[in-house]
Amino acid sequence: MTHIQMQGKKARIAVAGAVVAVAATAWGVTALVDPGHDTNHQNVSRQTDDPAQGAGDPQAPGKPGGQVPDGIAHASESGGNAVNITIDDGPDPKWTPKVLEVLKKYDVKAVFCMIGPQAKARPDLVKAVVAAGHRLCDHTMDHNTGMDKKPLEYQQQQILDAKKQIEDAAGGGAKVEYYRAPGGAFTPGSRALAAAHGMRPLGWNIDTKDFSKPGAAAIVNTVKSEIGNGPTILFHDGGGDRSQSVEALDQVLAWLKEQGRPTGFPVVTGPST
């Protein structure tokens, strides 16, 4: 597991006419992040405090009174030895329903990190996710894993447009409670922006690497070997053939049940680790 500890001067962001503190005198953010969902996917830290990439940008937009912390969450609300299941890159018309079936089989709730246009195109699936008691996460409009190299204005568009599309698709006043940067490409500015709009930045501790389709057994073995890294596990229901992901998720949930490991949701207002 790779971490990054960031030290920096106190930075502030102008937020809809108000000023929101981005960080204290020293940032102590522990970030486990993922550079992408492609064949070059590796588990490295990419969060940056480069002002040119959104840190401390005096024009950073948002709204006052961020309801949640902007630290990257990994811990489970259920505490103890609970784990969090997170599902990225959907919704997908073929694979999301199958993932929902597996989660229902084990009475497990998960966080679905959705791409805005895909949510807009499949409101029935977004509604099904919410109706089953799962939570929603903003995974941007275009899944650009180089977002940390983009101006904060671009990040704002990617984050807030996706949030609106996901919530519109969900209907019924459903809220997006988390923001996961594509490939883990967080910046302090994007984290502050997400938090100001009620979305807790969401990391992970176990990257199953199911995106690369290594086989269900390999995916399961990754979870078993890395379960000591922390509680939040990353799976996918979008981005291609996810048959191995569905099979592995079934086996992982069965194994967690055998181990007496409950499941929960990542913290929204609690600590990041």
Are 131 and 87 in contact, with CB atoms under 8 Å apart? no
The beta-strand segments (E) located in the chain are 12-15, 18-21, 83-90, 110-114, 135-138, 176-179, 200-201, 206-207, 232-236, 263-264
The count of residues in the chain is 273
Residue 88 annotated in active site: yes
Rounded Cα gap, residues 10 and 139, in angstroms? 28
Q: At which residue do the structure tokens 């903003």 appear?
A: 138
Q: Give, in degrees to the nearest 5, the angle at Cα 142 between 101 and 209.
A: 50
Residue 142 annotated in active site: no
Which one from 34, 88, 92, 148 is the annotated catalytic residue?
88
Which one from 49, 207, 236, 250 is the annotated catalytic residue?
236
Task: Please give the positions annotated as active site.
Answer: 88, 236
